[in-house]
A and B are shown apart, each in its own frame.
Chain A
Amino acid sequence: DAKTTQPPSMDCAEGRAANLPCNHSTISGNEYVYWYRQIHSQGPQYIIHGLKNNETNEMASLIITEDRKSSTLILPHATLRDTAVYYCIVRGKGANNLFFGTGTRLTVIP
């Protein structure tokens, strides 16, 4: 599976959009981009995933660049409860493992 690069930490003001970037320049054509988050002392929580097209669900939006070498997770209106470590994972079809790197620690500030 392709490796991902994320900034180690970010801050976001409560109520503003949080934009979390992820670089995956070695991604292959059949590899998906997944986002999970882990709130302190809890299990990883699935957020969203996509292959080529932008995706949106009740939690977030995922924007994937046309060349698929990077993506951005957008939390449209961040709340204090969104403070967590966010993991960007590139996962190939048939891969049973989710490789969680070091992620981005997002702190939402009141």
Chain B
Amino acid sequence: DAGVIQSPRHEVTEMGQEVTLRCKPISGHNSLFWYRQTMMRGLELLIYFNNNVPIDDSGMPEDRFSAKMPNASFSTLKIQPSEPRDSAVYFCASSLMGAEDTQYFGPGTRLTVL
């Protein structure tokens, strides 16, 4: 059974460019989470979807960040325009039965903004 799938695994871009990260949750899971991990701040929750609806986006840093979940099997996290301080590893996770259930993480996307 496939786990959470993320693409790309690595992304290098220049400051000011738009970046789109993609996530496919585990089939049948109804909740999806986007996290960001840096050395300084550790792992931080950015946004959480339940049944494709954003429930908590209080962790989204600023208006440059946006996330969508058009259907149960796909989500995107977009940064526009990107800045060097956005460099981090971005993880997507999903859970079967809502936020209280066990979260399973994808392999992450390592983003470098030059």
| B29 to A: closest C-beta gap in Å | 13
Query: Which residues of B are found within 8 Å of A34, using beta-carbon distances?
Result: 102
Q: A28 interface residue, CB < 8 Å from B?
A: no
Which secondary structure dominates chain A's binding surface?
Answer: loop
Number of chain A residues close to chain B: CB under 8 A: 16
Query: Which residues of A are found within 8 Å of B4, using beta-carbon distances?
Result: 43
Interface, chain A (partner B; CB < 8 A): 34, 42-46, 49, 93-98, 100-102
Closest 8 CB pairs of A and B: A96-B99, A43-B105, A100-B43, A97-B45, A44-B105, A96-B48, A43-B108, A43-B107
Instruction: Taking A93-B100, A96-B55 as given, write out 5 further A-B residue pairs in contact, using a Cβ cutoff of 8 Å, ordered by the A residue number.
Output: A43-B4, A46-B102, A94-B99, A96-B99, A98-B103
Interchain Cβ contacts under 8 Å between A and B, 26 examples: A42-B108, A43-B91, A43-B93, A43-B105, A43-B107, A43-B108, A44-B43, A44-B93, A44-B105, A46-B102, A46-B105, A93-B100, A94-B99, A95-B99, A96-B33, A96-B45, A96-B55, A96-B56, A96-B99, A97-B45, A97-B48, A98-B43, A98-B45, A98-B103, A100-B43, A101-B42
